[in-house]
C-alpha cells in the first residue's frame, strides 16, 4: 500500500520536528532543493540572501577571488621600443601601420595527435616577412590561459615554449583564470603557492631575458610591468586587464581584491582622453580574458562590462575595440553605444581558439541586434586574429586553422576611426 506523502512543513507541525539544516561556520543554513541556490526566476531585488553566499551566485564567486599582484613598475606602462627595440618600432611607424596577432586559450598538453596549438602557431608564423620587418606583426598579444593546470617550469616549457619555438615575434600576455589558479580540478596544486607566480616569472620580468622554463629554446621574453598594463605603440594604445580566476564571470575589482586595477584604469583612460583632445588620436584597444559578451560555453561578464562602462564614461573615452577569449571559439559582436552625443559601433571579439580544445557549442550568429549588440559571426573552430591599424582604420581578420594547418579567412571586421562605424 502506497504511503501517503506529506510536506516537510506539515511533518514539522505533526511531529514537532524542523526542516533539515546543517551547520556551516556557526550559521544554520537550510538545505537547498537545487545545488545552485539561485535557480529562481525572482528578480535579485526580491530574493532573500542565502547565508554565507548572498543574493546572487556572483556574491559567492567574489569571495573566492585571488589577490592581484602589484606591478613591478609604476605606472605599469610599456612602449613598443621596450619590446622590439627603437629601430623595430621606428620601422613600423614609418610603414604607416602596425600589425599584431591575438588569440587566447592555448596551453596545450602533449599527447594529442591533433596538436592544434602548434598548427595555429605555424599559421601565425607564415604572416612574417623577415626581409620586410616593418610590415610584419609587431608582436603576439596572448589573451590569457597560457597554461592549464601545470604552472611550473616544466609546464610552461611544454605548453608555451615548445609550441612557439618557431614563432619569430615577441609575445605579450594578459593572464587568464587558469594562469592564476592554485589548485586544479582534482584538488592538486597547479605548482603555485601564490597566484600568478609562474605567469610573472615568464612575462613580468625585471628586464628582457630568456626564462629558465625555456630550457634550450631561445625565446627572449619581454619585461611587462605587471599583470595589467598599458602598451604605448605607434597607431594604437592597448590596455591589458586581469579578470581573475573564476570560471564565470570576470572581475576587475571587488571586496576581496580591492580597486587598485580599476583605479589605475580610470587614471590611464583619462590620460589617453587628454592626449586625444590635444590632437593625438590613436586607436584604443582593451584586452581582457573573460568576454563581456559571449554565447559560447562561458557566459557574458555583464557586471564587469558595466564597471568598464562607468570608468570610460567618467574618463570621457570609449575603446575602439575589445578583445577577449575564455570561450574556446570565435565570436564577433558589434556593440552600439551612444557616447558624447553620437553613436559608436564597437567590435567585441572573442578569440579563444588558440589550441586548447573547443567549446561544446557556440551561439549561431544572426546579425540581429538584441539590446545594444548583435552577434555577427561565430565559429566553433581554431584560428587567430590578425590586426592591422593605421591612423584612419582598424582591420581585424580572423583566420580559421584546420587540422593539418589549412588556413582560411573566416571573418574581417573594419572600423573607421573617424566615424566609429563597423564594416564587414
Q: How many other C-beta atoms lie within 10 A of the C-beta of residue 394?
A: 21
Task: Return the half-sphere exposure (C-beta side, CA atoms, 13 A cut-off) of residue 393.
Answer: 10
Neighbouring residues of 247: CB distance < 8 A, sequence distance ≥ 6: 177, 298
Per-residue pLDDT of the chain (424 residues), as tens digits, is: 444 444 444 444 444 444 444 444 445 667 777 777 778 888 878 888 887 777 777 777 888 899 999 999 999 999 999 999 999 999 999 999 999 999 999 988 655 546 899 999 999 999 999 888 889 999 999 999 999 999 999 999 999 999 999 999 999 999 999 999 999 988 999 999 999 999 999 999 999 999 999 999 999 999 999 999 999 999 999 999 999 999 999 999 999 999 999 999 999 999 999 999 999 899 999 999 999 999 988 999 999 999 999 999 999 999 999 999 999 999 999 999 999 999 999 999 999 999 999 999 999 999 999 999 999 999 999 999 999 999 999 999 999 999 889 999 999 999 999 999 999 9
Residue 61 forms part of a structural domain: no
20 lies in the same domain as 121: no
Q: In the 3-class helix/strand/coil scheme, how is 184-247 assigned residue by residue? A: CCCCCECCCCCCCHHHHHHHEEEEEECCHHHCCCCCCEEECCCCCEEEEECCEEEEECCCCCCC
99 lies in the same domain as 50: no
Neighbouring residues of 154: CB distance < 8 A, sequence distance ≥ 6: 213
146 lies in the same domain as 19: no
For the record, the C-alpha cell of 228 comes out as 595589467
Is residue 218 within 8 A of residue 183, CB to CB? The reply is no
Residue 31 forms part of a structural domain: yes
Q: Is 37 helix (H, G, I), strand (E, B) or coil?
A: coil
278 lies in the same domain as 357: yes
Residue 24 to residues 19, 32, 33, 34, 38, Cα–Cα distance (Å)? 16, 14, 17, 18, 19
Residue 3 forms part of a structural domain: no
Neighbouring residues of 12: CB distance < 8 A, sequence distance ≥ 6: 18, 19
31 lies in the same domain as 167: no
145 lies in the same domain as 199: yes
Residue 8 forms part of a structural domain: no
Neighbouring residues of 39: CB distance < 8 A, sequence distance ≥ 6: none
Neighbouring residues of 396: CB distance < 8 A, sequence distance ≥ 6: 321, 347, 349, 385, 386, 387, 388, 412, 413, 414
Alpha-carbon Rg for the chain, nearest whole angstrom, is 23
106 lies in the same domain as 174: yes
In the chain, the number of structural domains is 2
172 lies in the same domain as 212: yes
Residue 5 forms part of a structural domain: no
162 lies in the same domain as 234: yes
Exposed / middle / buried, residue 337 (Cβ in 10 Å: 0-12, 13-18, 19+): middle
284 lies in the same domain as 202: yes
Residue 214 forms part of a structural domain: yes
What CATH number does the domain containing 394 carry? Answer: 3.60.21.10
Residue 166 forms part of a structural domain: yes
161 lies in the same domain as 33: no
Is residue 374 within 8 A of residue 363, CB to CB? The reply is no
Max intra-chain CA distance, the chain: 89
| pTM for the whole structure | 0.90
Neighbouring residues of 419: CB distance < 8 A, sequence distance ≥ 6: none
42 lies in the same domain as 85: no
Residue 337: domain span: 71-423
Residue 1 forms part of a structural domain: no
Nearest to 301 by CA among 254, 355, 343, 236: 254
Neighbouring residues of 53: CB distance < 8 A, sequence distance ≥ 6: 37, 59, 60
Amino acid at each position: 500500500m502506497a504511503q501517503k506523502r506529506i510536506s516537510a512543513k506539515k511533518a514539522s507541525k505533526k511531529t514537532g520536528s524542523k526542516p533539515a539544516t546543517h551547520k556551516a561556520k556557526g550559521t544554520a543554513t537550510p538545505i537547498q532543493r537545487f545545488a545552485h541556490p539561485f535557480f529562481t526566476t525572482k528578480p535579485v531585488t526580491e530574493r532573500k540572501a542565502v547565508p554565507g553566499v548572498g543574493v546572487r551566485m556572483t556574491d559567492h564567486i567574489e569571495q573566492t577571488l585571488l589577490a592581484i599582484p602589484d606591478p613591478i613598475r609604476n605606472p605599469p606602462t610599456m612602449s613598443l621600443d621596450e619590446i622590439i627595440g627603437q629601430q623595430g618600432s621606428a620601422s613600423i611607424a614609418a610603414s604607416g601601420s602596425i600589425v599584431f596577432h591575438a588569440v587566447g586559450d592555448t596551453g596545450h598538453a602533449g599527447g594529442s595527435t591533433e596538436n592544434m596549438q602548434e598548427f595555429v602557431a605555424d599559421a601565425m608564423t607564415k604572416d612574417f616577412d623577415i626581409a620586410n620587418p616593418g610590415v610584419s606583426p609587431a608582436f603576439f598579444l596572448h589573451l590569457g590561459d597560457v597554461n592549464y593546470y601545470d604552472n611550473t617550469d616544466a609546464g610552461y616549457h611544454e605548453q608555451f615554449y615548445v609550441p612557439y619555438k618557431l614563432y619569430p615575434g615577441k609575445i605579450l600576455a594578459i593572464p587568464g583564470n587558469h594562469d592564476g589558479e592554485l589548485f586544479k580540478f582534482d584538488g592538486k596544486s597547479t605548482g603555485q603557492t601564490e597566484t600568478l607566480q609562474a605567469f610573472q616569472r615568464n612575462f613580468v620580468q625585471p628586464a628582457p631575458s630568456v626564462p629558465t622554463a625555456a630550457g634550450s629554446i631561445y625565446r627572449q621574453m619581454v619585461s611587462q610591468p605587471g599583470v595589467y598594463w598599458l602598451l604605448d605603440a605607434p597607431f594604437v594604445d592597448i590596455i591589458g586587464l586581469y579578470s581573475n580566476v573564476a570560471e564565470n564571470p570576470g572581475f576587475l575589482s571587488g571586496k576581496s581584491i580591492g580597486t587598485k586595477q580599476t583605479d589605475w584604469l580610470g587614471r590611464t583612460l583619462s590620460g589617453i582622453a587628454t592626449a586625444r583632445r590635444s590632437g593625438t588620436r590613436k586607436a584604443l584597444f582593451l584586452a581582457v580574458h573573460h568576454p563581456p559578451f559571449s554565447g559560447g560555453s562561458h557566459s557574458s561578464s555583464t557586471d564587469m562590462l558595466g564597471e568598464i562602462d562607468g570608468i570610460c564614461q567618467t574618463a570621457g573615452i570609449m575603446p575602439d575595440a575589445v578583445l577577449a577569449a575564455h570561450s574556446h571559439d570565435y565570436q564577433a559582436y558589434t556593440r552600439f553605444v551612444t557616447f558624447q552625443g553620437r553613436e559608436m559601433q564597437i567590435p567585441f571579439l572573442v578569440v579563444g581558439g588558440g589550441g586548447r580544445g573547443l567549446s561544446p557549442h557556440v551561439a549561431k550568429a544572426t546579425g540581429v541586434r538584441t539590446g545594444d549588440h548583435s552577434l555577427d559571426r561565430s565559429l566553433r573552430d581554431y584560428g587567430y586574429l590578425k590586426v592591422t591599424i593605421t591612423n584612419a582604420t582598424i582591420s581585424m581578420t580572423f583566420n580559421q586553422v584546420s587540422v593539418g594547418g589549412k588556413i582560411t579567412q573566416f571573418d574581417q571586421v573594419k572600423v573607421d576611426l573617424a566615424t566609429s562605424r563597423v564594416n564587414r
